[in-house]
Amino acid sequence: MNVVITGGAGFLGSHLCDYLIEKGHFIICVDNFITGNEKNIEHLRENKSFKFINHNVSQYIDIGDDVDAVLHFASPASPVDYLTFPIQTLKVGSLGTLHSLGVAKSKKAKFLLASTSEVYGDPQVRPQTEDYWGHVNPVGPRGVYDEAKRFAEAMTMAYLRYHDVDTKIVRIFNTYGTRMRVNDGRAVPNFLSQAIKGEDITVYGEGEQTRSFCYVSDLVDGIYRLLMSELHDPVNIGNPEELTVMELAKEIIEITGSKSKIVCKELPTDDPKVRQPDITRAKNLLGWSPKVDRADGLRRTLEYFKSAI
């Protein structure tokens, strides 16, 4: 397949580029580096199965080649990033999704949207199944990301229903791994880099909020299975093993052997109190479940961070 990946120079997008090239596909990576990193795709620049277009997908996207699939991954994803770029986040979730769907429609290609567990907001059920409608504050600071992704899902379903585009929606839960930016602000990169440097580990609030962390190779495998499936309804992909943020901080101190101390900082507004994917749908319909346990995934990520710092 000829596959367009928007946001292909980011953390997840660049791993998808590698994975799909390995499977024999040709990649057209479209990115404007707002939160991405040229280094993530440096090793692919000379690859005959890879082409790069430097472009902001919130503007019209012009692709000359035939296209069989469009994977729309462009969007700031770390809370620090989307609070720094709130308007760009709203634009890429709305206009960027519209333009990416437009490419899929005109090329008669499949379309896969990178959505997020944030569509569930600060959830009142646990674990979160795909039929939960969510609990989102539209006017809070996180609304720029959550509502953009909710709009993107609605737009994707409209292109399925009214334009017959073969669409898929993956709801990605917290994913970590190599190529995350050291300063991207999310919990795993913050804690790992603080532990490596011997700085205080900054736990927000009392650290009682929960998350469930999926290693990037598992996520990419799940996304590929969804892309090749006949499904159109949203599918959660994430690791259901839930822990508190305080437990994560302690685990990272143990794995790194760091002397860093844990300090509590103010909890960001609307920070979800719980998050755990129900992955029954992915298990039953895609035959997918995560394989990499957290200790292993964190060690692999630690090696990357040691070399990146």
Task: Given the residues 120, 145, 215, 224, select the one marked as catalytic.
Answer: 145
String marking each residue 211-230 x if it binds ligand UDP according to CB under 6 A: x-------------------
Distance CA(142)–CA(86), nearest Å, equals 9
CB of residue 302 vs ligand UDP: minimum separation in angstroms?
A: 16
Q: Tell which residue, 153, 191, 156, 189, has the closest CA to residue 172.
A: 153
Q: Which is nearer to ligand UDP, 66 or 254 (CB)?
A: 254
* Residue 220, burial from CB neighbour count under 10 angstroms (0-12, 13-18, 19+): buried
Residue with tokens 């991405």: 36
159 labelled catalytic: no
With H, G, I as helix, E, B as strand and everything else as coil, classify residue 262: strand
The rounded Cα 241 to chain-centroid distance in angstroms is 18
Helices (H), 23-130: 39-42, 79-84, 86-107
- Cα 33 to Cα 54, 97, 200, distances in angstroms: 8, 17, 30
114 binds, among ligand UDP, ligand NAD, none (CB under 5 to 8 A by kind): ligand NAD
CB of residue 271 vs ligand UDP: minimum separation in angstroms?
A: 4
203 binds, among ligand NAD, ligand UDP, none (CB under 5 to 8 A by kind): ligand UDP
Is 298 one of the binding residues for ligand UDP (CB under 6 A)? no
* From 268, 270, 285, 308, residue interacting with ligand UDP (rule: CB under 6 A): 268
Stretch that binds ligand UDP, among 19-27, 196-204, 232-240, 287-295 (CB under 6 A): 196-204
CB of residue 259 vs ligand NAD: minimum separation in angstroms?
A: 29
Q: Which is nearer to ligand UDP, 83 or 98 (CB)?
A: 83
Q: Using only C-alpha atoms, what is the Rg of the chain?
A: 18
- Catalytic residue annotation: 145
